[in-house]
Amino acid sequence: MRCVKQYCGSRVSLTAASRLVLGIADVDNYQLLLDGLQLRCDFRHSCERLQAELDAKLDCCNAILKSVSLRRFAHLMLQVGNILNEVACSVILIRCTVTSELYCISADAESTVE
């Protein structure tokens, strides 16, 4: 573009294409304008792709929320967790009971030894 801007001859004798190029070279910040137009085109294309991806993810999320089998599976996991917690609490209670009985037995044994 620098070479084009340095042209000092008569523009009347030039072809229409050459005059166009010289006219474009005279426009301030022409490259910035071109970059802005390119960004505008790319941005629109990127937004369309993003919208398509978001629509697909939204459809997937809605399918998950409406899934009856997923609800059944989650309910089954909840029931299994409740049963495991109940069994674990029973085991802890038995251990506490056995430990306290052993403690009482060992305390009685110590008192009879004295």
- The span from the CA of 89 to the CA of 32, in Å, is 71
- The span from the CA of 108 to the CA of 114, in Å, is 10
Q: Is residue 7 part of a domain?
A: no
Q: Is residue 98 part of a domain?
A: yes
Q: Is residue 57 part of a domain?
A: no
pLDDT of residue 112 exceeding 70, the answer is no
Q: Is residue 79 part of a domain?
A: yes
Give the model's pLDDT for residue 52: 95
Q: Is residue 63 part of a domain?
A: no
Quote the number of domains for the chain.
1
Domain of 88 in residue numbering reads as 68-114
- The span from the CA of 100 to the CA of 106, in Å, is 10
Q: Is residue 20 part of a domain?
A: no
Say which residue the tokens 């792709």 belong to. Answer: 49
pLDDT of residue 97 exceeding 80, the answer is no
Give the model's pLDDT for residue 34: 84
Q: Give residue-wise pLDDT tens across range 27-52.
A: 788 888 888 889 988 998 899 999 99
Q: Is residue 15 part of a domain?
A: no
Residues 6 or more apart whose CB falls under 8 angstroms from that of 33 comprise 27
